[in-house]
Structure 1
C-alpha cells in the first residue's frame, strides 16, 4: 500500500497490515480521529469503512482520497467530476478572478483548494493589502491616545513612568490578514505539492507582520464585507474551510488531520439545484421549502422539506423533485421514498413528482399512485424515476441533466 496517496470509493473498506509499522501508525491515527471528532467512516477489524462522505483526509503526510461512485467508471473520471461539482456549488464563487488560472488538473480536492487559495492571495497582493483602523490597549512609557484610568492605577502603581492607554492605529495588522496568514502558515506545513512550495514561500516572505490569533467559528462571524474588502471573500472562505477542519494531534504531534469531506447526498442536491437554477429559465427553482404537517399537543411541530420545487412561470404548475445519491441498479425506490413523494403531492399541490438518481444511462421510469377512493384504478398523481447518466465534461453533464428533467416534464 502506498501510504503517501491512498484512493478509495465511498462505502469501500481500507484494511491495514498492522504488522507494518507505518500502516499501524496510520490505522491508530484514524482510530484516534474517529474517537475525537465526527466520523466520516466506521471502524472495522484492522481498518475502516467509509460512508457517504467523499473528499480528502490528510493524516500527517498521507492523503486518503474518498471518491463518489455511481457507475462503473474509474477514479480519474470521478475525481474530475467531484472537483467540478464542488467548484459548481460549494461555498465560494469559483468564477472569481483567480480560479480561471488553475493549473492542477486532477491531483486531489485538497490541491484544488490550496492552489485556489494561493492564487487568490497573489491577486490580493497585486491589488494591494488594505489597511484598517484598530484599537490597542497597552502599557507604554509615553502617553498616547486615551488613558485607561482604572487599569492604569491597578497596573502602574509601582511603575509611575508608564501609562496604560488605548489608542487607534491604521495599518495592515487586522483580523482579515491575521486569518489569511494563519491559513497560509498551515498550508505551508501540510502541503505536499512541489509546484506550490515556492509560491507559498514567496507569499510568506511578502506578508506583513501580523498578530497571532486563535481560530474559532466566531472569529469568522466578525468579518463584515464591503466594497473595499469584498475581493478577500474567496480566500477567507477557503481559509475558514481549512482552519476549522484541521485537527492537530496533541498527543504525538505527527499525525495531524485535515478533513475536507462532503456529504454526497447534499452535494448532489445542490448540484442539481444550481444546474436547474442556471439553465432552466422556464421555471422558478427553489430549494428546501419547509411546510408543517403535524402538531402535537406539546412539543415542537413536525415539518417536511422537499429538495427542489419547480414552478412553471406561465402555468404556475408545481413539480417536486427529490434527489437521491445512489444507483438503483434496476430496482424500485424504497417504499419510504415513494410514500414521501405521495405526501408532497398533497401538501405542495404538485402536478408531478420525481426522484432523481445518478445512473449508467439516461432513463425515465414513469409511475402513478393508486386512487385512494377506487382502489383498482390508477390516479393522476405521478411519481417518476429520473436516471441521469454521468458525463465527463461538467458543462455537458449539466445540459444533459436539464434535458432529462425537461423530458420528464413533457
Structure 2
C-alpha cells in the first residue's frame, strides 16, 4: 500500500478522465473498489466512465486508498496553516510542531501526516520524560507469598501445586492512558504516507509496545483514560484532545474496520471551519460581546406531537441580549451562487425569535474579505431581514489569532 500511485486533487475541484489518463495513466477501476466508492460518495465522488475515471472533491480533505492508486485531497490553504487551524480549533496551541512541518514534503503531505506529526511530537515529550505509572491489582499463582493470599481459590485447588494464589498491587505503565496512546499510534501508522515520519512513528510504537498492551482504539478506552485524569497525567491532556478528534465521527471519518489497514482518512473542513470560527470569535470579539455556539433558539417548529429545534452555529449577545445570529458554511461561494436553501435557513433563524433580529450572517472561506447582502421585505408585517454573506480569509484570521492586541468587531 505504501508504493501506490498517488493522485493529487484540491478541495472543490474535478479531475477529468482525460487528465487522469494523461497525467497518471489511470483508466479503469477494479471491482473491489466500488464498495468503498459507494461508502464515501458524499465525501468524494469517483466515477467509472466509458472513457476512463473521473474524480470530484468537495469539502473533505485527506487520503483515500483504492486497490491500484490512492487519492490525496488537499485544502486551498497551506499545510502549515491547516496545522495552525487545527491547533487553534482544538486548543493545541502549546504543541510546538508548526515549525517542524519542513520534515514533510509539505506540498505532498495529507491531513493524516499533519495529525501524525502533531501526535508524534507530543508523545515523544511524554515518553522521554517517562510514561505515567499507576498501581494495578494483579492476581496470579506464584511460588512465594506476595500481597494477600486468595484463600477461597486456595481451598478450591485440589492439586499438589507448590504455588500460592496471591492478589497484590503492582506499579506498571500498562494502564489505560498509555494503551490509548499506543492504539492511536497504530491508527496513525496505517494512514501516514511520509516515509520519514512513518519510521519515527514505528520506532516510538515499538518502544511503547514492549511495556504496554495493544488494545483497539475506542470511545470506551478513551473514557476510561479520561476518568483517570488527575494532576499526575496532565501531560496527556493534549494527546487526549487529539484522540477525541480522531474518534469523533463527525470530524474525522476513518473508513474501514479498525483492525485492518485503513483505506481512508478524511477530514470535513466544514466542521473544522465551524469549530475554528467559534474559537476565533471567542478570543477576538470586543469584551462586551459574547458568543454561544450550537445553542437552540427559543422558538421551535411545532406540530401536535413533535417539535424541532432551530440551532444556528453562533449567537452573539450584548448585555445578555441576542443581537446577531450566524452560520459557518465551508462552501465555494467566491465562484458559485449562494444556495437558496442557505438563505432560507438563515431567514428562519432571524424570524424564530421573540426579539427583533433583522441581520443574520453567513460566513464562508474566501481569498479576500467581501460580503453580499440579500434583503427580504415583508411590508405588510413591517419585517425586513438582511442575510449578509461574508467571505473570511482563513490566513488573515490565523494571523489575527496570533495578534494579542487585535479585537474583532463584526457589527461595524
TM-score w.r.t. structure 1 length? 0.76
Alignment partner for residue 315 of structure 2, among 290, 309, 313? 309
Q: For structure 2, which runs of at least 5 residues remain unmatched after alignment?
A: 249-253
- Which secondary structure state, in structure 2, belongs to the residue aligned with residue 222 of structure 1? helix
* Cα-to-partner distance string for 1:332-377 (whole Å, 9 max, x where unaligned): 6334333332332233432521222233542223343213526xxx
* Contact 2:44–2:55 (8 Å) recurs in 1: yes
5 Å-filtered alignment, 1:279-290, equals 279-282=284-287, 283-290=289-296
* 2:390 alignment partner in structure 1: 386
- Which secondary structure state, in structure 2, belongs to the residue aligned with residue 229 of structure 1? helix
5 Å-filtered alignment, 1:196-235, equals 196=197, 199-200=200-201, 203-204=204-205, 206-207=207-208, 209-223=211-225, 224=227, 225-235=229-239
* 1:65 alignment partner in structure 2: 72
* Contact 1:247–1:257 (8 Å) recurs in 2: yes
- Which secondary structure state, in structure 2, belongs to the residue aligned with residue 234 of structure 1? helix
* Number of residue pairs aligned between Structure 1 and Structure 2: 384
* Contact 1:183–1:243 (8 Å) recurs in 2: no
Supply the distance in 2 between the matched residues of 1:392 and 1:236 (Cα, whole angstroms): 29
* Contact 1:137–1:166 (8 Å) recurs in 2: yes
* 1:4 positional shift: 4.2
Determine if the alignment matches structure 1 residue 347 to structure 2 residue 352: yes
Determine if the alignment matches structure 1 residue 128 to structure 2 residue 127: no
- Which secondary structure state, in structure 2, belongs to the residue aligned with residue 356 of structure 1? strand
* 2:34 alignment partner in structure 1: 31
* Contact 1:31–1:43 (8 Å) recurs in 2: no
* 1:137 alignment partner in structure 2: 139
Decide whether aligned partners of structure 1 residues 238 and 307 sit closer, same or farther in structure 2, where only a CA change above 3 A counts: closer
Determine if the alignment matches structure 1 residue 294 to structure 2 residue 301: yes
Decide whether aligned partners of structure 1 residues 361 and 278 sit closer, same or farther in structure 2, where only a CA change above 3 A counts: same
Supply the distance in 1 between the matched residues of 2:335 and 2:114 (Cα, whole angstroms): 35
* Cα-to-partner distance string for 1:200-233 (whole Å, 9 max, x where unaligned): 4653565352223333221111113211101112
Decide whether aligned partners of structure 1 residues 65 and 392 sit closer, same or farther in structure 2, where only a CA change above 3 A counts: farther
Supply the distance in 1 between the matched residues of 2:236 and 2:325 (Cα, whole angstroms): 37
Decide whether aligned partners of structure 1 residues 54 and 114 sit closer, same or farther in structure 2, where only a CA change above 3 A counts: same
* 1:111 alignment partner in structure 2: 113
5 Å-filtered alignment, 1:167-206, equals 167-185=168-186, 187-188=188-189, 191-196=192-197, 199-200=200-201, 203-204=204-205, 206=207
* 1:84 alignment partner in structure 2: 84
* Cα-to-partner distance string for 1:130-169 (whole Å, 9 max, x where unaligned): 2101122334344433445665666x44464444443221
* 1:310 positional shift: 1.3
Decide whether aligned partners of structure 1 residues 326 and 182 sit closer, same or farther in structure 2, where only a CA change above 3 A counts: closer
* Cα-to-partner distance string for 1:75-105 (whole Å, 9 max, x where unaligned): xx45444333223214xx3212443553436
Determine if the alignment matches structure 1 residue 319 to structure 2 residue 319: no
Supply the distance in 2 between the matched residues of 1:114 and 1:61 (Cα, whole angstroms): 24
Supply the RMSD in Å over aligned alpha carbons: 4.0
Q: For structure 1, which runs of at least 5 residues remain unmatched after alignment?
A: 70-76
* 1:262 alignment partner in structure 2: 267
Supply the distance in 1 between the matched residues of 2:16 and 2:160 (Cα, whole angstroms): 65
Which stretch shifts more, 130-139 or 217-226? 130-139
